[in-house]
Structure 1
């Protein structure tokens, strides 16, 4: 990354001229300008490489009426005081003073991108009267089109500050028409519903104060340029400029979009303090969560691929560890866990080709139902009379890895742990605690609670041959206080819990690197980049019903990569859409990410088991393409036929998962033809051969006419593997034999 002339040679620069810095990623650029007045930084341009060369698309007239210049500017980060009317990103003050920050530019640090290393930009502003220094931080992520933003705040005075708002950053999206937003909304068992929102004027805000990102919204937002989209949100494949924001924070959060005067849309994101403010003592510093900014010229579908590449970078070297085909016992046995029934399930799972057996809730003492046991993490001797170690050995003798479910943040009131340490739970002195799912929540911000969780997990993983750990969290904090620790408004309990949670996950990575970790919070309640950087897979939803799950996964794949998406084949009927679907449909749906099985396979017929084993084998043959390939979302579950396309690096194989979701066409009673899915991103001149049928297609045919599927009542899903052969050059007119 070469700094523009204005950022080079400070000795020859006109001190009254604006300063400019351009951060570049693989295919995009992001230019920040410091106006000559030096009071704030502005976004000059953001988009494909080269967009920075020309008049700034976000240049504004500086004519303001009933607004201050800061309120109208495409400012990168501004405090209340300088920006009083249209939404400040930082609200701070000190006791005995009016709230507000009036800072001046202090210094800049700029490092261009080099081979394999990020480019960085740091802009420091200071308010000497209040005693606050703010450093706006930018960092590119090599190998991606993502720019990370965060802010570092330091109390430089002698008086404690109160931070009532402390966003990570703000970005003004350069639009030419109405903003078309897309968020991921829902509820428990209906997470990740892709939801369009038009924002011609006003404010749109999503967030959570449940101590986790929550089931109602994911900390993710996309903004499309409405001038180039069709329909209420524009189809996912519409090639239009699309901008994305995601926040890496597993606690309380918000993302706010404002359609501002002048036609721009400004998006802010940050964490939300539990008590409404955060104290910052003299000499102390605080860093906000990372806000990831992404751009694609290819619509929501293209933006999804940007996020997928970024999450593969987050996985690091663990990306290339195969995610095993798992069997989880919960749907089959619930809390009724004993060695004999689990071994029968494990034997059946091994015959299907599963590689991992996970014992879910119910394996520990006092856990006959959901009223007890949490916190007392010791195997129930009555359920495993020969010892838990012997049981694990029997499972492994079947050729299966072994996994275990835990909920380390939770405690049952009837547990021994709660009797010994009632002070470890969140509570407010003199107030009755609310039970959610018959349990309380441990204050993971306490160091002694962290040590208990670390010791518990180390003991389990050190005593038994466990290769997989499913971390669940089934209740939000309610009476969130810490008796004896001082006034609640002086405690940053949300940030403390997040720090404890991340500390434990970091410890698992370091102390038990061979253990695969799955993240879960009553389904998809805690899925964001900080968690994804420390886990191997996540559980998008407790709803595994076929058509419901298809819609959940469709939204999930807009924000997150297939290699982190755990999905099971179960017997569960639809919760929201009870239409029956075949075993094939359920397998192809689960194979779109990381395949698992959660049905009571003891009741399956020999024919069902044989079919299931064949699907597992087909999945294993293309698992690397499904997890690491470039993804295109083909239609949506609202269409009669939809699919997901995965292209291997280099284009040698293309895998398509396809589903029939709607009514059939009545053939052969009336004239009909196969449904078709138009593939995308292929070489029009190359030949692609279906490895199962031998049918050959030109890339142009698959792009224009589409891949055919002759759906029927019994044939409602398919996995197609296409092998590529290079084309033969020009094609003169010819007669087809």
Structure 2
């Protein structure tokens, strides 16, 4: 018997050795992700880090690691898309139940191809089980100059019956360092993107969400990973990662028995055993990451450049400043009062007036948040001339017109709910639970998708003067049951998001040039898949300028400020108008304030700030961002933006809550050309105020700096730099 086993083993080794070892290299200008097909026919990740200078070195990499255990099992590979049921004892990327009930899958290499795409190269690797007709294609898009890689997978069922997917990660990445430090971001309404830093030790750390819609209300879909030391702004090895999925996501960080770390991002399979029919393909979300050996600052700038060029809707285009009516009127307005606000918008100098909630529904008028959602016809009492009269009034005032919608939701007190209760996600036979007096429409249902698309389509067909949408989403999915899916309830969370994307894709195809703001009760939707369809997102309903500095600091690690809407409002009236203006001006500027209530001094200051912002948009929105002083590390905060040619820059410096007689140091700038001389002028000043001005070399500004901080709570300074 032993002799027979030896012969069979020898034959197996000979057969697997016939599979030629192949090295697959996914590269940017600065990073290599290298995979290798071993002589067992399976694919392993053998390297992820700084780009190797010699391509031949990639073939020298060892695909196995020493587990330190018994010699017979002392080698284990880092499988590129590890499946459940195999010889690896840690978290897999893929878990499925085959049509015959078997839960084990082994994937073997079939082929790979690389082709040029806009900005870089895409590598597609095809793997397949040798016993079951299941195929997986791994996609890696490497953006060469931006040093960003996107990874996702496609799982195809070629079996004769349904298979059930119960783990389906976008990718799996492996790291080997002495220590690992994770910074993840959490919060709630009005306190989004609060950082939490911890060292990862043996075992698993999971960040996830189970809310369906408004998915990032408690957990944001992005993180920093510090290798060997906590992530720092200007030094150290770091990875920034984010999952592009507008629904339930999960990122697993697992340190194994030999100190290796695996990072496994993807859709959260919670309550989502997905039934995949024969011939169908399940596509996972894109996982987007960048590596840096110069800290998170460089990694952030890489993501910003990549997003503006390749991911964000109209990422290289302009952005409109706006005046929103919500803080000044709430639901209480009419056609005449809105027309007056449009004239305020023109006098202020902004590009657009945005009408918020409360303009629709007649049988159940939208006078509060308890009724009307789903009935998207203008309210005859408030708006006898309809939306058309508003677009005409905006045109007469000389501004663009935008409008608020929340098309995924419905109030039980609405005509839509009366006509189509079968279109609503709701438990049969149970008392419904209402979050904010509303329920969620079942976007897994194609008829509901058609309806949600028609909300935008009808507004634009009837009112071509509408130039902007604010798309809100105020409720998570409650009462979780899809009348449409019936026996396939495990598909609901996934198919809902896919239904949303289908709607957004149709809107983008028919109206490609209409900008939209992504909002979700604040910043509960902030992902790069949604931002393919939205020009910007709303970071938080919290517009207290002190709090916004922290929120915007965190969000701007992962998103360019061009994508981050920030408004001047009445939150925290104890702060000066200048401070509120300066905080909002570091992102995409807007106003949500009653202009008539302002003093003449503040009104003129707002007008001046808008004019300055219009002039400096190319620097702020498209320049390189350098984080100079973190609000999390003291009582001040500062950033500066620099154009690519380094000839223009803008500095924002803020005093938060300085301590008594606290030492105040000069602020040293970054990113300038040390050989150039810059004219420096302080802007956003009230009439009669004199600010800092002078000429300084870039070398001086970066090594010596300027005295921009003060001991005064809530003070701020904005400097414009122009090369001579």
User: What TM-score comes out, normalization by structure 1 length?
Assistant: 0.89
Show the counterpart of 2:8.
Answer: none
Pair 1:219–1:470, CA change in 2 (3 A):
same
SS of alignment partner, residue 566 of structure 1:
strand
Q: Residues 371-386 of structure 1: matches in 2 within 5 Å?
A: 371-386=370-385
Cα shift at 1:424:
0.5
Pair 1:224–1:59, CA change in 2 (3 A):
farther
Pair 1:503–1:67, CA change in 2 (3 A):
farther
Contact kept in structure 1, 2:655 and 2:712, CA below 8 Å: no
SS of alignment partner, residue 164 of structure 1:
strand
Specify which of 123, 135, 138 is matched with residue 136 of structure 1.
138
Show the counterpart of 1:198.
Answer: 199
Task: Give, in whole Å, the separation in 2 of the partners of 1:421 and 1:197.
Answer: 48
Q: Residues 701-716 of structure 1: matches in 2 within 5 Å?
A: 701-711=700-710, 713=712, 716=715
Q: Residues 311-326 of structure 1: matches in 2 within 5 Å?
A: 311-315=307-311, 318-326=314-322
Instruction: Identify the range of structure 1 (210-219 vs 435-444) with the bigger mean alpha-carbon deviation.
Output: 210-219
Q: Residues 177-192 of structure 1: matches in 2 within 5 Å?
A: 177-192=178-193
Show the counterpart of 2:676.
Answer: 686
Q: Residues 293-692 of structure 1: matches in 2 within 5 Å?
A: 293-315=289-311, 318-365=314-361, 366-464=365-463, 465-483=465-483, 485-489=485-489, 491-573=490-572, 580-638=574-632, 639-663=634-658, 666=661, 675-692=665-682
Specify which of 233, 236, 249 is matched with residue 236 of structure 1.
233
Cα shift at 1:544:
0.6
RMSD, aligned α-carbons: 2.4
Cα shift at 1:483:
2.6
Specify which of 42, 61, 64 is matched with residue 39 of structure 1.
42
User: Which structure 1 residue ranges, 5 or more long, are not aligned?
Assistant: 1-13, 575-579, 667-671, 726-737
Pair 1:430–1:710, CA change in 2 (3 A):
closer
Specify which of 122, 125, 142 is matched with residue 124 of structure 2.
122
SS of alignment partner, residue 646 of structure 2:
coil
SS of alignment partner, residue 480 of structure 1:
coil
Instruction: Identify the range of structure 1 (366-375 vs 17-26) with the bigger mean alpha-carbon deviation.
Output: 17-26
Pair 1:65–1:714, CA change in 2 (3 A):
closer
Q: Residues 248-327 of structure 1: matches in 2 within 5 Å?
A: 248-273=244-269, 275-315=271-311, 318-327=314-323
Task: Give, in whole Å, the separation in 1 of the partners of 2:22 and 2:680.
Answer: 56
SS of alignment partner, residue 458 of structure 1:
helix
How many pairs are equivalent? Answer: 692
SS of alignment partner, residue 532 of structure 1:
helix
SS of alignment partner, residue 318 of structure 1:
coil
Task: Give, in whole Å, the separation in 2 of the partners of 1:608 and 1:451.
Answer: 46
SS of alignment partner, residue 676 of structure 1:
coil
SS of alignment partner, residue 556 of structure 2:
helix
Specify which of 91, 97, 110 is matched with residue 113 of structure 2.
110
Contact kept in structure 2, 1:375 and 1:410, CA below 8 Å: yes
Task: Give, in whole Å, the separation in 2 of the partners of 1:89 and 1:315.
Answer: 25
Pair 1:317–1:374, CA change in 2 (3 A):
closer
Instruction: Identify the range of structure 1 (393-402 vs 404-413) with the bigger mean alpha-carbon deviation.
Output: 393-402
1:286-344 deviations in Å (ceiling 9; x for gaps): 22111112111221111111211121123578223321111111111111121232233
User: Which structure 2 residue ranges, 5 or more long, are not aligned?
Assistant: 1-16, 683-691
SS of alignment partner, residue 555 of structure 1:
helix
Specify which of 101, 112, 123 is matched with residue 105 of structure 2.
101
1:410-449 deviations in Å (ceiling 9; x for gaps): 1111101111111000012212221110011100121111
1:215-236 deviations in Å (ceiling 9; x for gaps): 222211221112xx4xxx3432
Task: Give, in whole Å, the separation in 2 of the partners of 1:77 and 1:69.
Answer: 20
Task: Give, in whole Å, the separation in 1 of the partners of 2:68 and 2:240.
Answer: 29
Show the counterpart of 2:11.
Answer: none
Contact kept in structure 2, 1:93 and 1:162, CA below 8 Å: yes
Task: Give, in whole Å, the separation in 2 of the partners of 1:131 and 1:380.
Answer: 56
Contact kept in structure 1, 2:135 and 2:155, CA below 8 Å: yes
Contact kept in structure 2, 1:372 and 1:413, CA below 8 Å: yes
1:594-651 deviations in Å (ceiling 9; x for gaps): 0001122221111110111111111111011111101111121132221111110111
Pair 1:71–1:134, CA change in 2 (3 A):
farther
Contact kept in structure 2, 1:518 and 1:536, CA below 8 Å: yes
Task: Give, in whole Å, the separation in 2 of the partners of 1:270 and 1:710.
Answer: 43
Cα shift at 1:717:
0.9
SS of alignment partner, residue 246 of structure 1:
strand
SS of alignment partner, residue 582 of structure 2:
helix
Task: Give, in whole Å, the separation in 1 of the partners of 2:434 and 2:397.
Answer: 40
SS of alignment partner, residue 631 of structure 2:
coil
Cα shift at 1:241:
1.3
User: What TM-score comes out, normalization by structure 2 length?
Assistant: 0.91
